Amino acid sequence: MKGVTMTCCEGWTSCNGFSLLVLLLLGVTLNAIPLILNFVDEDQFFENPISCFEWWFPGIIGAGVMAIPATTMSLAARKRACCNNKTGMFLSSLLNAITVIGAAYCLLVSIQALAEGPLICNSQSNTTSSCEFSLKNLTANYKESFDLQWFFEDSCVPHTDSNNPSITNTTANNWRVYNLHFNSIENQHRIIHFSVFLGLLLVGILEILFGLSQIIIGCFGCLCGGVSKRRSQIV
């Protein structure tokens, strides 16, 4: 009887599928956390959101939906139903290119979210009316110091007392993380915002790496005419 062996290329494709599946689910879960907490606290969406950026769905759309096609096809490689010819490997590379684009979107939104912090640190009114995401804004954030002061300060809420600069002069070098507890709405928003978008940042980076590796494997498979080989087995 004849069987089909799985070569290293196809094995890596299958491994990529499981990895992307885990990252996909993790990205969707992280993105949903602030949305669910906001709904639980306010009993309605768009009212006093933690930040603008969860509503751009970096984890649900970028790291989630856009990674589904490549994840599905990579998992199918385990059953040798695809990725065993040039067409399959080319399609695998193409779908992973979409994954990389989605992961890059997740990465960019997460960087901007970490740079700006939650709404409570930037605005007196927590509404989505002030939410705006653009590559221009992202470039502007890179020009500023990326020190996460909104997270490490004792308080990130803007003070009206401009005559006492020492109130807001605490820098990230103090590393006063021990002051961050869920004892106030401000700290809740800061901890949730930091944890969610740091996690999405890591998810975006890992998805980009796995996606690029699969693109390389797919191109290699196209040049080699597929990755599966058959051998005869005597039972």
Give tens-digit pLDDT for 138-195: 555 555 556 788 888 777 776 555 444 443 444 444 444 445 566 678 888 889 999 9
Residue 218 lies in a domain: yes
Residue 90 lies in a domain: yes
The overall average pLDDT reported for the chain is 76
Tens of pLDDT, residues 16-25: 889 999 999 9
Q: What sign does the dihedral 105-109-214-24 (CA atoms) show?
A: negative
d(CA 189, CA 195): 10
d(CA 124, CA 162): 16
Q: What is the count of structural domains for the chain?
A: 1
Residue 116 lies in a domain: yes
Residue 177 lies in a domain: no
Residue 66 lies in a domain: yes
Residue 233 lies in a domain: no
143 contacts: CB under 8 Å, gap ≥ 6 = none
Query: What confidence score (pLDDT) does residue 208 get?
Result: 97
Residue 204 lies in a domain: yes
Query: What confidence score (pLDDT) does residue 159 get?
Result: 58
d(CA 147, CA 171): 8
**Which strand (E) or helix (H) includes residue 213?**
helix 185-224
d(CA 2, CA 148): 60
Whole-prediction pTM value? Answer: 0.79
Tens of pLDDT, residues 47-91: 667 888 898 899 999 999 999 999 998 888 766 555 556 777 788
Average of pLDDT values for 198-212?
A: 96
Q: Which residue range(s) make up the domain with 36?
A: 8-120+144-150+188-224
What the block records as the tokens of 25 is 């689910």
Q: What are phi and psi of 87, to 5 degrees?
A: -65, -45
What the block records as the tokens of 132 is 């705006």
Residue 42 lies in a domain: yes
Weakest mean pLDDT among 16-25, 35-44, 136-145, 194-203: 136-145
